[in-house]
Amino acid sequence: HQDAVVAQEALRALGVAAHAAGESAFTWGLLHGRERAGAEARQRELPEVWGAASDPALRAPLEH
């Protein structure tokens, strides 16, 4: 999720720079949208993944 958020910021900056230079920013926008969708998907999955990772049985072998 963090990587996708950082990538979104970079892609937006690249799109703005392309537009300012008179170039098309369309591809940068597409990439930004893909990263945003990925970040939103990871955020929706977080409660289930966190719950599974928080299972005390996973830590039991580490306590010996």
pLDDT value at position 59?
A: 85
pTM of the model: 0.75
Per-residue pLDDT of 15-59, as tens digits, reads 999 999 999 999 999 999 999 999 999 999 999 999 999 999 988
Compute the half-sphere exposure of residue 28: CA atoms within 13 Å on the CB side of its CA: 16
In the predicted structure, residue 64 carries a pLDDT above the cut 90: no
Helices (H), 1-64: 2-20, 26-53, 56-59
CA 5 to chain centroid: 5
Where would I find the beta strands (DSSP E) of the chain? none
